[in-house]
Amino acid sequence: MKRALHLTCVAICLCIVAPGFAQQGHPLTGTWSGDWGATSTKRNQITFVMNWDGKNVTGLINPGPDSIPIASVFVDPATWTVRIEANGKEHITAEGKLEDLGSYHRTIKGSWTQGTTKGDFRITRD
């Protein structure tokens, strides 16, 4: 009887605690850092802070006094492609693939366009 009660208590605790570890929210929520550039030697450091508000992903690029609000984010869960657009001094478009989805430190790699400058980017969730 005591053993059955003990096993029941352990099972209940696991059912309560395990889902808490498994949930990370929307796959884009969090702070992401990396760089973008037109060549492998000329790179620009970038930081994204993104949050899921229940309907949309919102956020900022390079938070601080010169931050750029993210205008829109599109995620295709079938292919895990992401398109982020923002309007700072120039229009920014970042299109990439969400990789290492099961990892907390997942990455997005792809193409970056800022005004007329085209390049690539890579960001990793911190």
Residue 2 — pLDDT band, cuts 50, 70, 90? low
Pick the range with the lowest mean pLDDT from 10-19, 20-29, 48-57: 10-19
Q: Find all residues with CB under 8 Å of 72, minimum gap 6, and list them.
A: 56, 83, 84, 85
- 19 has pLDDT over 60: no
pLDDT tens figures, 84-114: 999 999 999 999 999 999 999 999 999 999 9
- What's the CA gap between 96 and 106, in Å, rounded? 12
Q: What confidence score (pLDDT) does residue 25 get?
A: 76
Reported pTM = 0.79
Rg of the chain in Å (alpha carbons): 19
- What's the CA gap between 3 and 47, in Å, rounded? 52
- 15 has pLDDT over 50: no
Residue 16 — pLDDT band, cuts 50, 70, 90? very low
pLDDT tens figures, 55-95: 999 999 999 999 999 999 999 999 999 999 999 999 999 99
- Contact status, residue 25 vs residue 52, Cβ threshold 8 Å: yes
CATH code, residues 25-125: 2.40.128.120
Question: Within 10 Å of residue 4's Cβ, how many Cβ atoms?
Answer: 8
- Mean pLDDT (the chain) is 86
Question: Rounded to 5 degrees, what are φ and ψ at 36?
Answer: -145, 155
Distances (CA, A) of 70 to 15, 33, 87, 108, 121: 38, 15, 7, 16, 16
Residue 8 — pLDDT band, cuts 50, 70, 90? very low
